[in-house]
Amino acid sequence: RRLTLQLGARHYFVRGDEARLLQVLWNILKNALKFTPEGGIIRVISTNPDQHTLRVTVIDTGVGIAAERLESIFGVFEQGVEIIDQRLDLGRHRPREAARPARPDIEKFGMQPAKRS
C-alpha cells in the first residue's frame, strides 16, 4: 500500500474534544489501511475551504461501502451486517457524535464499493 499526504491546510486549530476527534480520524485511517489491498493507494488531504474550516479527506482504493449501508455506520453501537460488520470499525460511538463539538461535516460521498474493470 502507498500512503500519500497532501497537507495543504494552513490552519489546523479545531475547537472540540481532541481525543474524540483524533479517535474518529484514526479509525477512518485504520479502515483505509485494513481494506485497501496490496498495491492500493491511500490519500490523506487537508485543506481549508475557508478560514473557519479544516477539511481532512481520506481517499482509498479499498472495497468501499454499499450506498444502502451508509447510514448504519453512523448509528451508536451499530455495525450493520455483511460488509460493515467485517469491514468497518468506527469505534463504539457514532463518528458524528464524537466529532460534534467541532460542528463537523462527516460526508459520505465516495463511500461505495469499488468498480472493478
Q: Is 110 within the bounds of a domain?
A: no
Q: Is 74 within the bounds of a domain?
A: yes
As a residue count, the chain comes to 117
pLDDT at 90: 46
Q: Is 117 within the bounds of a domain?
A: no
pLDDT tens digits for range 15-53:
888 888 888 889 889 989 998 999 999 999 999 999 888
Q: Is 38 within the bounds of a domain?
A: yes
Alpha carbon distances (Å) from 30 to 11, 56, 88: 24, 15, 9
**Average of per-residue pLDDT values in the chain:** 72
Q: Is 115 within the bounds of a domain?
A: no
For 105, the grid coordinates are: 461535516
CATH code of the domain covering residue 22: 3.30.565.10
Contact (CB, 8 A) for 17 and 24:
no
Q: What is the mean pLDDT of residues 41-67?
A: 89
Count how many domains the chain has.
1
pLDDT band at residue 86 using 50, 70 and 90 as cut-offs: very low
Q: Is 108 within the bounds of a domain?
A: no
Q: Is 111 within the bounds of a domain?
A: no
Q: What is the pTM of this model?
A: 0.65
Residue 52: burial class (beta carbons within 10 Å; 0-12, 13-18, 19+): exposed
Terminus-to-terminus CA distance in the chain, angstroms? 20
Residues 6 or more apart from 5 whose CB is under 8 A from it? 43, 44
Q: Is 112 within the bounds of a domain?
A: no
Q: Strand 41-47: give its sheet, edge to edge.
A: 2-7, 41-47, 55-60
Q: Which domain holds residue 68?
A: 2-102
pLDDT at 113: 52
pLDDT band at residue 105 using 50, 70 and 90 as cut-offs: low
